[in-house]
Amino acid sequence: MKWRDLRCGEVRPDQVGQRITLAGWVDTRRDHGGLVFIDLRDRAGICQLVVNPERAPEAHAVTHEVRNEFVLRATGEVVARAPEAVNPNIPTGEVELQVDELEIVSRCPPLPFQLDEENVDETLRLRYRWLDLRRPRLQRNLKLRAQMVAVIRRVMEEAEFLDIQTPILFKPTPEGARDFVVPSRLHKGRFYALPQSPQILKQLSIIAGFDRYYQIAICFRDEDLRADRVQEITQLDVEMAFPDRDFIFGLMEEMCVAIWSECVGVELRPPFPRMTYAEAMARYGTDKPDLRFWLEIEDATEFTRASQFKVFADAPCVRYLTVPQELSRADLAALEELAKEWGAKGLAYLVYDEEGEVRSPIAKFLAEEELSVFRADPGSTVLFGADEPRMVARVLGALRSHLGQTLGLIDETRFEFVWVTDFPMFDWSEEEGRWGAVHHPFTRPTPEWEERFDREPAHATAFAYDLIANGNEIGGGSFRIHEPDLQARVFELLGIGPEEQRAKFGFLLDALGMGAPPHGGIAFGIDRMVMVLAGEPNLRDTIAFPKNQAGVDPMSGAPSEVPPEQLDELGIAVVVPQEEH
C-alpha cells in the first residue's frame, strides 16, 4: 500500500487537480456546521483539509471523533482556495485538500497542555517531552541543530580532519567538574569515569599520527546545575598537530560563517576581533564580553590616586561606566543593591541632568580636574567601582550587562563574535588551598612563561583562547604541552605529585615521551551554539531529551534505583543519607 504522496507542508498550487494522500497530526479542527476544516501537520508544515458532508459523507462522519493530536490519513483532491480564503502566512496557503477518504490512524486523549499554550510549566513539558517537541519552536531548534552539525561535519571533512570516536567508559579527564562514575561488574570495586571531554584521547590520537582529529562528542560533567548548564553537553572537539593559531581561528571562523549563513541566512564578517583576557576584563569586566552594545568600562586609577575622596584614593583600582541615561534615585538604589549582591561595598555615582548639572553625594569630595575627567553628556550617569581589580571587573561587568539588557542597549538582531586570548594559567582555590588550572592541566603556558610559570603562577598566562558570541562562550581551546617534563612540572604545581601523576596520567606521560608532536585544538559547545543561533534563552530547549535543573528526567524518572540483586552483582552497597529517607 502506498503510504502517501507528499508531506503536509509540501502541497503547492502545481498539485491542483491531483489526487493525493496526506498523513499527519491534527493541529486544529474547526466545524463550520457543515464543512469541517482540519489543519493536518507534519514536520514539513501544515495543510488544510476540507471535509464536505455532501462530497464525502463517510469521511465527514469520521471528523466527529477527531481531536487534536490524533494521527489521520486523508485522501482527496488538491484544490485551489478561493482568493479570499488564501492564507499568506503558510507555504501551503493557496491550496487545500478536498477529502474523500479519512482514516483515524491513532488517537490521543485530552492533552496535558495545548501545544500553542505559552508558559507551560517546564516539568510538565519535560514529562511529556514527545508532545512538547511537536511545538514549532522546538521543531525549529532541533532542525537548526541538525543542520548545524551537518555544516560542521562538511567544513571539518573538507579541511581533512578525521572523525575519530573515543570511548565513553574511560578514566577521569579533568575539565574542572566532578566525574560521573560507572561501576564495573567484572572488576568489582573499580569504576570507569565518563569523559568530561575527550581531551586526553584527542591528544593521544594526534600522537598516534592522526594529525587532524575531530569528533562530535558527548561530554559528561557532574556539575551543580545552574540555569544555563547541563550535565551532558555535546561538543565539536578538534585537535591538530603542528598547530598554527591563525589557521585554527581561520577555520573556526569559516565554520561559523557557513553555519550562520546556511542555517539562519546571516552573513558574518570574519576575521573576528581578538582581545586578550586582560583587555576584556578591563574594558568589559568579563572574559565573555557581549559586543552587541558599546558601553565600555574606563580606568581612572591614575587620576584618583591623589583624590580627596578616600574611597578612591585608597582603592587599588578605580574604574567607571558612563551610562547614557539620567538614572533616578530609585534606579541607583536598585543598582547599588545589585552591586552589593555581586560583592561591592557600595556604588558611587555622578548623575548629570538634562542641563548638565551634576547630582551626587560624592561630587563635593572631587576636585575640579577629577570632575572634568568624568564629565559626561547631559542626561547621563557615571557609575564607579573602587576595589581590587577583580572585584571592580566583576561588579562593573555585571552592571554593564544588566544595564545593556534593562536600558535596551543591546541590538538583538546582531551577532558579535570575539576571540579572547592569553588567559591566566592558574587560579588559586581558597577552599582547597591550592592552584587549579583555569583551562585544563594539559594547556601550555605562553612562550614567555614556559621557564618561570611555577615561580609566579598568579601571573602566568596560558596559550588558551575562547570564542565568544553575543556574550556566550561558544568555544574554547588551547595549545597543549607535548613535553613530558613540562607536563610533570605543571602537574606538580597543581599539587599532583609524582605518584599520583603515574597512577592517573602515566599513560599520557608515556605517550608524550614517545614522539609527541606539538599539538593544539579547540572545542565548541553545540548546545550553546544552537542557543545563540536560534536566539533560544533556554539551553535545555536546544536538546531533544534534556534533564531538568536538578539533573532528573521527569519523563523516564532517571536517575532511578537499582534492584538489590544488581547492586550485589556490582559489589555495591548504597548508603542513603538519613534525611533522604
Whether 535 contacts 487, CB under 8 Å: no
Please state whether the peptide bond connecting residue 271 to the residue before it is cis, i.e. omega within 30 degrees of 0. yes
536 belongs to the binding site for ligand ASP (CB under 6 A):
no
Q: Which is nearer to ligand ASP, 48 or 235 (CB)?
A: 235
Cβ atoms of 267 and 260 within 8 Å: the answer is: yes
Q: Which is nearer to ligand ASP, 283 or 444 (CB)?
A: 444
CB of 84 to ligand ASP, least distance (A): 57
Q: Is beta strand 36-42 parallel, antiparallel or unpaired with respect to 45-51?
A: antiparallel
C-alpha cell at 122: 517546564
Interface with ligand ASP (CB under 6 A), residue from 66, 95, 437, 523: 523
Residue 370 grid coordinates: 577629577
Whichever of 399 and 522 has its CB closer to ligand ASP, that residue is: 522
Q: How far is the CB of 480 from ligand ASP (least distance, A)?
A: 8
How far is residue 148's CA from residue 260's CA, in Å, rounded to a whole number?
9
Binding test (CB under 6 A) with ligand ASP, winner from 15, 199, 203, 381: 199
List the interface residues with ligand ASP, window 416-445 (CB under 6 A). Answer: 440
| Closest of 434, 432, 426, 429 to residue 458, by C-alpha | 426
**Among residues 6, 20, 40, 522, the one that binds ligand ASP under rule CB under 6 A:** 522
Query: Which residues are 54's β-sheet partners?
Result: none
Taking residue 405's Cβ as centre, other Cβ atoms within 10 Å add up to: 12
User: From the list 27, 175, 179, 331, which residue makes contact with ligand ASP (rule: CB under 6 A)?
Assistant: 175
CA-CA distance, 26 to 42, in Å (whole number)?
9
Stretch that binds ligand ASP, among 81-89, 133-141, 412-420, 519-527 (CB under 6 A): 519-527
Q: Check binding of 230 to ligand ASP (CB under 6 A).
A: no
Query: Applying CB under 6 A, does 9 fall inside the site for ligand ASP?
Result: no
The CB-of-239 to ligand ASP minimum distance in angstroms stands at 7
C-beta of 219: minimal distance to ligand ASP in Å?
A: 6
Shortest approach of ligand ASP to residue 175 CB, angstroms? 5
Asked if 521 is part of the footprint of ligand ASP (rule: CB under 6 A), the reply reads: yes
CA 119 to chain centre: 21
**What is the nearest approach in angstroms of ligand ASP to the Cβ of residue 233?**
8
Q: Which helix or strand (DSSP H or E) is residue 329 part of?
A: helix 329-341
Return the residue of 197, 205, 234, 487 that touches ligand ASP, per CB under 6 A: 197
Tell which positions 437-496 bind ligand ASP, by CB under 6 A.
Answer: 440, 476-478
Instruction: Report phi then psi at 564, rounded to 5.
Output: -55, -35
Nearest alpha carbon to residue 16 among 86, 103, 89, 88: 86
- Rounded to an integer, what distance in angstroms lies between the CA atom of residue 514 and that of residue 24? 59
Binding site for ligand ASP (CB under 6 A): 175, 197, 199, 235, 440, 476-478, 521-523
